[in-house]
Amino acid sequence: MGMTMSQKILAKHAGLDEVREGQLIRAKLDMVLANDITGPVAINEFNKAGFGGVFDKCRISLVMDHFAPNKDIKAAAQCKQCREFAGKYDIVNFYDAGDMGVEHALLPEKGLIAPGELCIGADSHTCTYGALGAFSTGVGSTDMAAGMATGEAWFKVPAAIRFNLHGKLKPYVTGKDVILHIIGMIGVDGALYKSMEFGGEGLASLTVEDRLCMANMAIEAGAKNGIFEVDRQTIDYVKERTDRDFEVFKADGDALYSQVIDIDLDLIQQTVSFPHLPENARTEKDWGEVKIDQAVIGSCTNGRISDMRQAASVLKGKKVAKGVRCIVIPATQKIYLQCIREGLAEIFINAGCVFSTPTCGPCLGGHMGILAAGERAVSTTNRNFVGRMGHVDSEVYLASPYVAAASAIAGKIAGYKG
């Protein structure tokens, strides 16, 4: 029996000819990632274990993004601990305020992830890099510590669900709508500890940035990872950012899948996930009248330049509704600067938006947009759990940049048709 994309990557990194679902393996890592929340925990475990050095100073990334610029004394102390660790071990990929970005947008932008590579990160949305044909997954901080020291990690080989994509997205429908639709179909545990593997002729309709968004939210279906077939778009994207060699893995024709699901992209509509789970996905006919207090456009899910352009196309010449706070957060410094050069920043500010430097900020109830009791936000982020963006009595509605921007103007959840 053949292997899936994920299984082939794991076998290669474990030095095995083949692996099977449920098999426990030990594999060599290409990248180990942590941020300013998970990094200090991993560093504490690293020190507790008595490790005297890191396996490769070029294959560890520490990104200060969740509470940066620092929001309080505790956040400052966490970043300081990461800064000192990075200095002690000469970590090359250390990104602090001024040159950092939201980690899962920053690493692909920097060319630090390529097809066929194996990455772990002490953050659940590390699965983002599967968009580039890599196997990437979130781990606990103890595994992160061991990974930094040894360059290896253990894995239980996942089963896989195959998603065959057909057709083409309609105008103003994005990868965010597709993944919300899929999670609505299968549920937040529909891919529990499985690989969500995407392919098919419909892949051509999805930009790499659509795919990064979709792979990012694989964890919201309980998946171990999300991964996309590598095509010319992927190769072009990666080669613009790195000149190192990489290997492309394709699933065998007789690979075993626990489920095969066909997705007709022509039928996907603008979709919003209502509180308090991403699986609570609804299309416009079921939105009703939902007034909002805040709109957030950004995050590791939808903070890339295409997302900024989509939001700006809606907001241009318009004004944010009275009583609504619209916060726009480019995911990296490069994207922030590009927004300025393209005039997008001016559009956002003229519309009455807050235009923030890169940060995870409000996504996890960190800073730059905390909700009070009873408040509602439409957000391009990836989670809408109880209390995710502030008070436990607040509500978060997940949407694409088009819908979030249109909702900011309307003062309520609203679609966008151009």
What DSSP assignment string belongs to 247-298? ------TTB--SEEEEEEGGG---EEEPTT-TT-EEEGGGT---B-SEEEEE
Q: What is the mean pLDDT of residues 275-298?
A: 96
Q: What is the mean pLDDT of residues 367-374?
A: 93
pLDDT at 252: 94
Q: Are residues 306 and 260 in the same domain?
A: no
pLDDT at 307: 98
Rounded to the nearest 10 degrees, the angle between the axes of helix 305-315 and helix 344-351 is 50
- pLDDT tens, 179-228? 999 999 999 999 999 999 999 999 999 999 999 999 999 999 999 999 99
Lowest mean pLDDT among 76-85, 127-136, 272-281, 357-366: 357-366
Say which CATH number the domain at 300 has. Answer: 3.30.499.10
pLDDT at 120: 97
In a domain, 417, yes or no: no
Q: Are residues 333 and 295 in the same domain?
A: yes
pLDDT at 331: 96
How far is C-alpha 315 from the chain's CA centre?
Answer: 24
- pLDDT tens, 142-185? 999 999 999 999 999 999 999 999 999 999 999 999 999 999 99
Q: Are strands 24-28 and 152-156 parallel, antiparallel or unpaired?
A: antiparallel
pLDDT at 343: 97
- pTM of the full structure: 0.95
pLDDT at 305: 97
Q: What is the mean pLDDT of residues 386-410?
A: 96
Q: What is the mean pLDDT of residues 127-135?
A: 97
Q: Are residues 15 and 53 in the same domain?
A: yes
**Which range marks the domain in which residue 360 is found?**
272-410
pLDDT at residue 4 greater than cutoff 80: yes
Q: What is the mean pLDDT of residues 345-370?
A: 93
pLDDT at 365: 86
pLDDT at residue 1 greater than cutoff 80: no
Q: Are residues 182 and 328 in the same domain?
A: no
> What is the distance in angstroms between the CA of the first residue and the CA of the last residue of the chain?
48
Q: Are residues 330 and 256 in the same domain?
A: no
pLDDT at 418: 87
Q: Are residues 140 and 260 in the same domain?
A: yes
Q: What is the C-alpha to C-alpha distance for residues 135 and 76, in angstroms, rounded to an integer? A: 32
Query: For all residues of the chain together, what is the average pLDDT?
Result: 96
